[in-house]
Chains A and B, each alone.
Chain A
Amino acid sequence: MAWRGVLGLRLLGSASRSMTRSSINPELISVAGSAPPSRHIAVSSSLFVKEIIIDTSDKQTTIEGVYKESDRTELLVKTEHTECGSCPLCALQLNLKHTDVLVLSQFLRSDGCMLPKRITGLCNPQQKKVTQLVAMSQKAGLMPNLAPSWSKKDPKKRFGSRKLNRYFDEKTIKIKI
């Protein structure tokens, strides 16, 4: 769904095209003579990184979609190995631990699920390793805010032995990188 963009239209060369907000706008649904556009329907408002709506009102209302720069580009880590198109973690050679929450949380969605390889850009063994580290970190209760909406977001509210503190040994992850 992410590939096809909001309206389900193919990517065109030009940057701007008409699009709608994710929350259903009644004015735009009923267009005479045409089928309603297939849209990415989100229950909550989703954050579109790359599109902006610009409305100008004279006698005309134009809705324009413009690609926006992501707010991450300045914060990217750049070393001599990161620019050559390799897997980012292999290039950085970090000795990741399950307690490195600030790094591991970058690979998660807001509900605690892992992002796929095509988004993270990691190679196969690194993706598996990060998945296991994230699982360790979640079991240790170190990322309670990145959890599904129905969870209690507090490790102390878990049941039985799960509410107690635990730590993990990263050497138990046997993945050859």
Chain B
Amino acid sequence: MSAARRVQQWATFGRMWYLYDAKWQNPFHTANKIKDYLTGSTKPIYHPLNDCGDHVVVINSRDIAMPGIEWEKRVYFHHTGYPGGASWTLAWELHQKDPTLVLRKAVYNQLSKNLLRRGRIARLHIFPDDKIPDSILQNISGQIRQLRPVPKRLDHYSEEEVKNFPKVFDWPREYIIQ
């Protein structure tokens, strides 16, 4: 194989390491996106037996956001196998115990339910904040775009920005500002 062909072979079949920032993102929508990268569905060389899946490194999984009252309503069921071993855990309780589990279970449940699932979930690395081990940080070769815009808090704007922002209505003549 010539050198050019060899490089082309590495470029097509090489495994990518993607970074994804999960701050203020919906875990289930992100799981839908991440599963495509883990299976390798985004590649033109995809085949289920091709082992073309990529690694995905997720950071800030502690800061994921769910819509409305989903944190209080979503329930995770677990049975130990023993009688009386059924437990129902609310999403927020599970998140407090392990901030990576909600996203991990979301991705695991979105992957196709075959023997390849275990290998694919092993290529997903989730971190609760932005501290990543150096060995993984060196491997990262790409980034996945966030799905939802990250909102900005009012106290994160400077005082000048808030003061000079165009106003929608003017105070009436006899108003005491509170």
List A residues at the B interface (Cβ < 8 Å). 1-3, 5, 11, 40, 46-50, 67, 70, 72-73, 75-77, 88-89, 92, 99, 101-103, 105-106, 109-111, 118-122, 140-146, 160-161, 164-169, 172
Contact for B177 among A3, A46, A89, CB less than 8 A: A46
Contact for A40 among B95, B155, B176, CB less than 8 A: B176
Collect the chain A residues with CB atoms within 8 Å of residue B164's CB: 75
Establish whether residues A99 and B149, one from each chain, have CB atoms under 8 Å apart when the complex forms.
Answer: yes
Collect the chain A residues with CB atoms within 8 Å of residue B170's CB: 70, 72-73, 76
Establish whether residues B175 and A101, one from each chain, have CB atoms under 8 Å apart when the complex forms.
Answer: no
Contact for B24 among A46, A47, A165, CB less than 8 A: A165
**CB under 8 Å from chain A, chain B span 124-178:** 148-149, 151-155, 157, 161-162, 164-178
Contact for A106 among B64, B153, B167, B178, CB less than 8 A: B167
Collect the chain A residues with CB atoms within 8 Å of residue B71's CB: 161, 164, 166
Establish whether residues A165 and B68, one from each chain, have CB atoms under 8 Å apart when the complex forms.
Answer: no
Interface SS majority for chain A: loop
Known contacts being A161-B92, A165-B65, A169-B68, is A142 close to B154, with CB within 8 Å?
yes
How far is the CB of A6 from the nearest CB of chain B, in Å? Answer: 8
Establish whether residues B168 and A103, one from each chain, have CB atoms under 8 Å apart when the complex forms.
Answer: yes
Collect the chain A residues with CB atoms within 8 Å of residue B151's CB: 99, 101, 140, 142, 167
Collect the chain B residues with CB atoms within 8 Å of residue A99's CB: 149, 151-152
Contact for B168 among A88, A143, A160, CB less than 8 A: A88
CA distance A141 to B24 in the complex (A): 12
B83 on the A face (CB < 8 A):
no
How far is the CB of A175 from the nearest CB of chain B, in Å? Answer: 17
Establish whether residues B177 and A49, one from each chain, have CB atoms under 8 Å apart when the complex forms.
Answer: yes
Collect the chain A residues with CB atoms within 8 Å of residue B172's CB: 118-119
Known contacts being A2-B176, A109-B178, A164-B71, is A72 close to B154, with CB within 8 Å?
no
Establish whether residues B165 and A2, one from each chain, have CB atoms under 8 Å apart when the complex forms.
Answer: no
Contact for A49 among B149, B162, B171, CB less than 8 A: B171
Instruction: Return 15 A-B CB contacts under 8 Å, by A number.
Output: A2-B176, A75-B166, A76-B168, A76-B170, A77-B168, A89-B168, A101-B153, A119-B172, A119-B175, A122-B169, A142-B151, A161-B72, A166-B66, A166-B70, A172-B68
**CB under 8 Å from chain A, chain B span 40-70:** 63-68, 70
How far is the CB of A107 from the nearest CB of chain B, in Å? Answer: 8
How far is the CB of A164 from the nearest CB of chain B, in Å? Answer: 5
Known contacts being A77-B168, A164-B71, A166-B65, is A3 close to B176, with CB within 8 Å?
no
| A165: nearest chain-B partner, CB-CB | B65
| A99: nearest chain-B partner, CB-CB | B151
Contact for A144 among B70, B90, B154, CB less than 8 A: B154
How far is the CB of A79 from the nearest CB of chain B, in Å? Answer: 11
